[in-house]
Amino acid sequence: MARSTVSFRGAAGSSTSHRLSTSFLHIVTTMLFLGLPSAHSQLEKLYTDVTDLKILVDETYLMKLVQIGQYNTTLEVAAQIQHPDIVQFVPQTVTIPGSAEPNTTVNITHDICVLGKSPGHSEVTFNVTPSGFVNMDEVFLRITVMYSHAISVISYIMGWIYFAAWSVSFYPQIYINFKRKSVVGLNFDFLALNIMGFTMYSLFNCGLYFSKEIQTEYFSRHPRGLNPVQLNDVFFSLHAAFATLITIAQCFIYERDEQRVSNTGRGILALFTVIVIVTAGLGFGGVLKWLDFLYYCSYIKLCITLIKYVPQAYMNYKRKSTVGWSIGNIFLDFVGGFLSILQMVLNAYNYNDWVSFFGDATKFGLGLFSLVFDVFFMLQHYVFYREARYILLPGRSSCEDLEETSEDQQTSDTPYQGPPA
């Protein structure tokens, strides 16, 4: 609801005379006492009953323009539609008649028929003439016209499914480490990059979701935008960082052979750390806005997503085995990535927004890149190194590997003789 506070202002004078100043003050006081409208009264007294509207193509919606208080002159309120080919208002201009004796508390509604013409997104603002009576600069609508409500519901459900899949995807690796009492086969560069990436992602999400100062800066740059971070984004990033920390803790508890973070991995992490320290210092010094600092954190997360799978894939190739690397994690990650991209396709079709689909190269590219690596990991596990999952590798003494070797050899014609001396 718009505020119903009435603000009164008098026309400014240029005389320096004490008498004129006293007369001016007397006029303003009288107007306040009598409650008479002036040319700048009734500010923010016009608003719409909806701010976000979703309708189908060829569907109509009866919207209301709410007027609180009357005016001493006739006003013309014209809708400024961003994309007239997407949505149409009937009427597009509402006439509000003036009154000789304005009632400042009366509530009047004006009906506007909104017609969806073609799928897409359009913003609507309002222009009031004559100016000075009503301020509608902050009043606007976001209207989405779509082909199908069913597709919208399916897209919403897909969003929660891939959110759940990505959230659960960390636990198969934790379980297999616990079962084997070993982290041999799990690349430490992957873990180091992962914890750095999710820490940066958590900073970005928590900053934009919890900090009023950062939100104010964001909306000053995007006055009609929505906060891009929702509560589920905050939960996912914090949960991902927590699950990765558990996996890292397992590396200190369980057998790890001679595995460690490589010099290349340390160099990459050092570079990212320097960027974070420098940008944070600029933030504390007031040189850089904290919102820009969070953007740098998000860029680091994007870079890490591009490279974090490479060390694990190379390690599997070098060992010619995927033992110790959870394929369950890959399946869930694949499901999440596939549904994420499918959701983007459905939304692009439903809202005829293919420009945004192909224009958001970062999100689409990262999703596709992750899917390619997931498929590659599946090929490594089930095709390239399938037999290696049942062979005791040189220098290995994992209980799981011994059991798998035993079960495989006991089913063959040759009796199992145990591990080599």
Q: What is the pLDDT of residues 279-308, one digit of tens each?
A: 999 999 999 999 999 999 989 998 998 899
Distances (CA, A) of 199 to 64, 227, 267, 298: 45, 20, 18, 10
- Would the pTM of this model clear 0.85, i.e. be above it? no
Across the chain, mean pLDDT equals: 81
Distances (CA, A) of 364 to 279, 302, 350, 356, 357: 27, 12, 17, 10, 8
What pLDDT score was predicted for residue 390? 53
Task: Identify the band that residue 59 occupies on the pLDDT scale cut at 50, 70 and 90.
Answer: very high
Instruction: Return the residue matching tokens 């897209």.
Output: 155
CB 209 within 8 Å of CB 281? no
Least confident of 86-90, 293-297, 348-352: 348-352
Task: Identify the band that residue 410 occupies on the pLDDT scale cut at 50, 70 and 90.
Answer: very low
CA distance 216 to 330: 39
Q: Which CATH number fits domain 46-146: 3.10.180.10, 2.150.10.10, 2.60.40.10, 1.10.150.120?
A: 2.60.40.10
What pLDDT score was predicted for residue 42? 42
Q: What's the average model confidence in pLDDT over 406-412? A: 39
**Residue 397 pLDDT greater than 60, yes or no:** no
Q: What is the pLDDT of residues 373-385, one digit of tens each?
A: 999 999 999 999 8
What pLDDT score was predicted for residue 225? 63
Neighbour count for residue 90 (Cβ, 10 Å): 10
**Residue 183 pLDDT greater than 60, yes or no:** yes
What pLDDT score was predicted for residue 93? 94
| 20/81: higher pLDDT | 81
Boundaries of every domain in the chain = 46-146, 149-407
Task: Identify the band that residue 401 occupies on the pLDDT scale cut at 50, 70 and 90.
Answer: very low
**Residue 50 pLDDT greater than 70, yes or no:** yes
Q: What is the pLDDT of residues 214-264, one digit of tens each?
A: 988 988 887 666 677 888 889 999 999 999 999 999 999 999 888 899 999
CB 316 within 8 Å of CB 243? no
**Residue 320 pLDDT greater than 80, yes or no:** yes
Helix or strand holding residue 123 (H, E): strand 120-129
**Residue 364 pLDDT greater than 60, yes or no:** yes
**Residue 334 pLDDT greater than 90, yes or no:** yes
Least confident of 46-55, 280-289, 307-316, 398-407: 398-407
Least confident of 27-41, 97-111, 374-388: 27-41
Task: Identify the band that residue 101 occupies on the pLDDT scale cut at 50, 70 and 90.
Answer: confident
206-210 long-range Cβ contacts below 8 angstroms, 24+ apart:
206/234, 206/237, 206/238, 207/290, 207/291, 207/294, 208/291, 208/294, 209/233, 209/234
Distances (CA, A) of 198 to 178, 209, 293, 299, 308: 23, 16, 16, 12, 12
Q: What's the average model confidence in pLDDT over 378-399? A: 67
Sequence-distant (≥ 6) Cβ neighbours of residue 171 within 8 angstroms: 243
Task: Identify the band that residue 20 occupies on the pLDDT scale cut at 50, 70 and 90.
Answer: very low
Instruction: Return the residue matching tokens 């210092």.
Output: 281
Distances (CA, A) of 345 to 147, 310, 350, 383: 14, 27, 9, 30
CA distance 144 to 202: 30
